[in-house]
Each structure stands twice: as C-alpha cells, then as structure tokens.
Amino acid sequence: MFFVEYSKLQNCFHIDEMEAMISINRRAFLKDLPVDFIPIGVFETFDDAFDFCSEMELIRHKKIKAGRSRTSKKENQTSHRVRHTVDITEIPDIWDRGMD
C-alpha cells in the first residue's frame, strides 16, 4: 500500500509505502521534529497514488485560478507566485537526512 501526504510549507506531495511512511513519521515524532505533511490518500499501487497527486494538483490549480480571476488586476500583479516542481521520488531522501 502507498500513502500520499501533502506539505503546505514545502508545497509538495510525498508518496511512499506504508511501512516507510510510518517509520519516517515515527522517527520525526521521537526526535520532536516539526512535520507538516498530512495524509490525504491511501492506494494499492504507486501509479494510483501518483495519478491522485496529479489530479489533486489540477483541481487545486483550477481553484487558485478561479480565485485570482475574482481579484482586481492590481491584486493579480502583486500576488504572482513562482511555483517549483518537486520530483516526488526525491522526497524520501530529503526526509531521511538528519533522522538517524
């Protein structure tokens, strides 16, 4: 089974197998590390989890775009955000740093 988590601070998804996700979260808890990843889905396969992330990103993008269309031009110019694409396959390596 694969878990999908989302981090508001890092603006990215994290997909991992159930055992690895639990181990990572347990180590973060025991070391009193701040973690803002929240679980948002459980899937049988990695592909299903990845497809879910893609779908959620599209829905989120549409909602953000709809919200921006309701603001004035001046607000749109000042609220422009740069978005970075995160390779979710690299997330477990980032998580493991400093947790041993």
Q: pLDDT, tens digit, for every residue of 30-80?
A: 999 988 899 999 999 999 999 999 999 999 888 888 887 765 454 444 433
pTM over 0.85? The answer is: no
Domains in the chain: boundaries: 2-96
Q: Give the distance between the most distant pair of CA atoms in the chain.
A: 49
Name which of 78, 64, 68, 76 is nearest 11 in CA terms. Answer: 64
8 Å CB contact between 9 and 86: no
